Structure 1
């Protein structure tokens, strides 16, 4: 390289952008998508837990798991396998739409 070329390269060397201070954003996108995947998994897991809890609650409410030997007791094995409503989405819908438990119907003796 000649001296003239060296001087020209030295002049234009300062017009180059500074690469050292730039950040690579693709790693931030990995973190964001990983966070989205974790949150979707958490929502999915909570929906499954809600369906199971509502299934057991409704089976207890409708007395589907009464113990045949001991009156007034609950068959705990039945609670693990009972299907108290035809589809799981009915449990999910009821659990999502009813945030407070229903009040029992008032009888004439309760009204005072």
Structure 2
């Protein structure tokens, strides 16, 4: 009779035993994939910032917004760093993304 009681008591506490299969924590997250996604995301952001800066300076040069005060054909490089040739940064990004090839003027044809 005592064996039945002991069996019942052991059966009650069977669920509280630690699962030795999960004793050592393992991660099911693919860290390489998330790291590559983060690196590519940061690279895209960096390239967009570079494109906005380049398009801002290109547009300023095309519209002659930074002429040199001393030489008529020169360009003021300090002005190119601080010029804002469009109202918003996203306008530079949109123009740079949608206009991949340079525009050909009639004088070059």
**Common fold: TM-score over 0.5:** yes
Residue 105 of structure 1 and its aligned partner are, at CA, apart by 2.8
Tell me the SS of whatever aligns to 2:71. coil
Aligned length: 85
Residue 68 of structure 1 and its aligned partner are, at CA, apart by 1.4
Q: Provide the rounded CA distance (Å) in 1 between the counterparts of 2:28 and 2:77.
A: 51
Tell me the SS of whatever aligns to 1:26. coil
Residue 25 of structure 1 and its aligned partner are, at CA, apart by 6.3
Q: Provide the rounded CA distance (Å) in 2 between the counterparts of 1:106 and 1:81.
A: 30
After TM superposition, the score normalised by the length of structure 1 is 0.70
2:28 to 6, 11, 26: 26
Residue 26 of structure 1 and its aligned partner are, at CA, apart by 2.5
2:74 is aligned to 73
The root-mean-square deviation of aligned C-alpha atoms, in Å, is 1.8
Q: Provide the rounded CA distance (Å) in 2 between the counterparts of 1:80 and 1:61.
A: 15
Displaced runs of 4 or more, over 6 A: none
Q: Does 2:60 align with 1:59? A: yes
Q: Provide the rounded CA distance (Å) in 2 between the counterparts of 1:26 and 1:35.
A: 17
Unaligned residue ranges in structure 2 (runs of 5+) = 1-20
Residue 70 of structure 1 and its aligned partner are, at CA, apart by 1.4
2:49 is aligned to 48
Q: Provide the rounded CA distance (Å) in 1 between the counterparts of 2:102 and 2:92.
A: 14
After TM superposition, the score normalised by the length of structure 2 is 0.71
Unaligned residue ranges in structure 1 (runs of 5+) = 1-18
